[in-house]
Amino acid sequence: MDLIREANYQTRTISEDNNSYSIDGMMKPTFYNEGTSTVIINNLKIAPGQNYIVDTPQGFVSIAAMNIQFDNADGSLVNSLILNYHTVGEPFTDSVTGKILTESQRRATASCIS
């Protein structure tokens, strides 16, 4: 059965080093270096203006911890790492019966409403 679920978009800003930043439950987390300092994520250098995508397979969520370190020893640069991701919501259900809808049922319901 091909279930349809909500994907809730979320954003976080990270500005401090973290040896074990959890990305548990996130779909396709994407880090964007918005600051002026280089960020090192799991030993990969991410320059200002670049991003790093944790490429989870379609329909799966991450279960991992990331090592995030800002290369800003003297504190003269701006540490700003944006994290964009989706979380998985509850499956869509029929409002009358409460049964879980397949993708084709969800589309049929949506076309009847519009």
pLDDT band at 40 (very low <50, low <70, confident <90, very high): very high
CATH of domain 5-89: 2.60.120
Average pLDDT over residues 21-41: 95
Task: Reduce the DSSP state of residue 105 to 3 states and report it.
Answer: helix
| Residue ranges per structural domain of the chain | 5-89
Which has the higher per-residue pLDDT, 27 or 89?
A: 27
DSSP state of 58: T
Query: What pLDDT shows up at residue 93?
Result: 67
Query: What pLDDT shows up at residue 7?
Result: 76
Looking at the predicted structure, is the pLDDT value of residue 11 above 70?
yes
Tens of pLDDT, residue by residue over 73-93, are 899 999 999 999 988 776 666
CA-CA distance, 54 to 67, in Å (whole number)?
13
Radius of gyration of the chain (CA): 19
